[in-house]
Amino acid sequence: MTAKHVALLLTAVLALVSLASPPAESQGILPYLQHSPQDQSQDQPELTAPTRSASHVPPDGYVPDAETAGKIGKVIIERYYGELPAGTGEKFTVTIENGIWIVKRTHAPGYFDGGGEVHISKKDGTILFLSDKT
């Protein structure tokens, strides 16, 4: 259970405690935690998880072709590793292996740095790997 879940659970418990009448001898929230949900009064709000509607995944996935993968990969690589100066001859290559798009920016001639590689899931567009080593 993550800290976020613990904080949410604690907030919910404290909200329920404030809605219920305090016990004769105050023992904190322990008496409230010892009762089952059926013991709680019916006028208290019911806490339920939000519902999600089903998501449609296109048959070819969210990243269906090399052009789309290349555009996404270029944006990610340039965002994290910077744009190369105009006229440096940067080159992006896009390949696919087992449903994973691999987008690489090769080093420009005369530049020590400037490469990058990103792996993108064809199905859902998740960035699976990012590196400046190509």
Kindly indicate the confidence band of residue 126, based on its pLDDT and cuts at 50, 70 and 90: very high
Kindly indicate the confidence band of residue 106, based on its pLDDT and cuts at 50, 70 and 90: confident
> 109 pLDDT exceeds 60?
yes
Q: Find the mean pLDDT for residues 54-58.
A: 79
Structure tokens at 131: 């590196």
What is the C-alpha separation between 128 and 134, in angstroms, rounded? 15
The SS3 of residue 87 is coil
Instruction: Give, as one character, the DSSP assignment of residue 40.
Output: S
Name the range with the highest mean pLDDT among 28-42, 80-94, 96-110: 96-110
> 77 pLDDT exceeds 80?
yes
Residue written as token pair 């105050």: 26
Residue 53 CB coordination number (10 Å): 5
